[in-house]
Structure 1
């Protein structure tokens, strides 16, 4: 990869106030892209934007109203969008309900990214070769989706099950984009690795374990977690459809994620829940 390889392209990166998102913003800017930095924390988001010479926008993905406001600002101020990295995410050890009435993990990890992508669809489709990148997890293969109960309100709540389901939804979303989008738009999901980042902020023991000497040897830094984004963004678009990047290695989608019936039903349900 050469400096200037992304010259003339604009990348919108969410969850970019720290961690993988911030590292990705720096890498993409170093390759010549104009980077729009989106984050939840105002000061941290502005700091990253200043560092990469890009614009800063703040939004809490636990609120659909803020996602809609974000989309309005982006449509008004960003005339061209070539790359959308849906990287905002959360993991919660207990059931939390957003002000929109949805389970927090599913809303932040899937419903809000779905909404943002839908609201930016027109602008993305105008790019010569647009790319949507969904940050997921290799744990998506263990996820189970009940389209009629995305918030997992039935039965006992399991934080691991909710997280895995939200990551599966992100992969299914990418696959369905490829079915519905014009030929000029491609989507792919990826696993960044087990990264030392703010994703674990609600799990202090996990954060401490990752920060330990042994933990650091077994996990990836945010910079390493951002490597798949750079690889995907600079890859031949024709090689990206119907694959999942497990770190730097493309893998065929698992059958559940590739199921067109599930993709269509999940899309319709997400449209209903987000009013996209």
Structure 2
């Protein structure tokens, strides 16, 4: 992978950090994107990459991130939209949007669109971290910000935004067909990280399992590393992977092209692209 540039968001810890290390060891240059400045700079130093600090709670910071990446890199070979996670308490972002929706879907949607001309130009690959939780989604295109539904500790919306991740990648693949760009989403497995650390449900699960519930960040990063490094993944652009297995089980709406197209339009309106 020498000479390739890979942008990884959420790379300051967990799966993103593990993927950054593994891909750097294969020779890639890593643009390390994270919210925490100290951790982001530490990972960048560890992998010999470049740090980019951005908080997805602000779409202006996402726009500034895209501008910085475009200014620095004439070529981007892969974009890994890995940032996001469970938001256990309902809240609004700096843009007045639902935080879970913005962190997991709207921010990566905006970043991808802002980088898209460069990505298409270089026949790049877009990889987004989804979740098997998508199967339990309750998608309502008229209520994307969960204003009319119960919060339930954030788990129902987490499942829903991960379905939106899969739909986004599906629609991205359709819109960029025959350009050379390829796009995939994947479920990393139940990884032992800081994900959902403020969730009482998760803490209970870890207590009863005595810490044995889940896999390591390195194991969880394996699908991302694979999708970012191989030339031919053996599956059409737009495919969702469960781990390293293509065509994982999904919610019934995950293969609905009309829903994917409308989600794209609604998302574009919310972020102004």
* Common fold by TM > 0.5: yes
**TM-superposition CA deviations, 1:133-161 (whole Å, max 9, x none):** 10010011221221221101014333211
Show the counterpart of 1:233: 228
Contact residue 196 and residue 207 of structure 1 kept, 8 A: no
Contact residue 28 and residue 230 of structure 1 kept, 8 A: yes
Contact residue 8 and residue 34 of structure 1 kept, 8 A: yes
Question: Offset at 1:182?
Answer: 4.4
2:194 aligns with one of 184, 187, 198: 198
Contact residue 132 and residue 249 of structure 2 kept, 8 A: no
Show the counterpart of 1:120: 115
**TM-superposition CA deviations, 1:32-57 (whole Å, max 9, x none):** 11110000000100000011101100
Aligned with 1:38: secondary structure? Answer: strand
TM-score (norm 1): 0.92
TM-score (norm 2): 0.93
Distance 1:253 1:114, change over 3 A: farther
Distance 1:203 1:167, change over 3 A: same
**TM-superposition CA deviations, 1:29-81 (whole Å, max 9, x none):** 11111110000000100000011101100111111011011011111111111
Contact residue 15 and residue 38 of structure 1 kept, 8 A: yes
Aligned with 2:7: secondary structure? Answer: strand
2:265 aligns with one of 265, 268, 273: 268
- Determine if the alignment matches structure 1 residue 148 to structure 2 residue 142: yes
Aligned pair count reads 269
Aligned with 2:190: secondary structure? Answer: coil
- Determine if the alignment matches structure 1 residue 246 to structure 2 residue 236: no
Question: Offset at 1:213?
Answer: 9.2
Name structure 1 gaps, 5 residues minimum. Answer: 1-5
Q: Distance in 2 between matches of 1:238 and 1:275?
A: 35
C-alpha root-mean-square deviation of aligned residues, in Å? 1.8
Name structure 2 gaps, 5 residues minimum. Answer: none
Show the counterpart of 1:20: 15
Q: Distance in 2 between matches of 1:107 and 1:261?
A: 22
- Determine if the alignment matches structure 1 residue 135 to structure 2 residue 129: yes
Question: Offset at 1:101?
Answer: 1.4
1:65 aligns with one of 53, 56, 60: 60
Q: Distance in 2 between matches of 1:223 and 1:213?
A: 24
Q: Distance in 1 between matches of 2:249 and 2:121?
A: 27
Q: Distance in 1 between matches of 2:2 and 2:208?
A: 39
Question: Offset at 1:96?
Answer: 1.2
Contact residue 182 and residue 238 of structure 2 kept, 8 A: no
Q: Distance in 1 between matches of 2:203 and 2:30?
A: 29
Q: Distance in 1 between matches of 2:210 and 2:83?
A: 23
Q: Distance in 1 between matches of 2:211 and 2:241?
A: 22
Task: Give 1:29-44 correspondences, 5 Å limit.
Answer: 29-44=24-39
Q: Distance in 2 between matches of 1:105 and 1:215?
A: 29
Runs of 4+ in structure 1 off by over 4 angstroms are: none
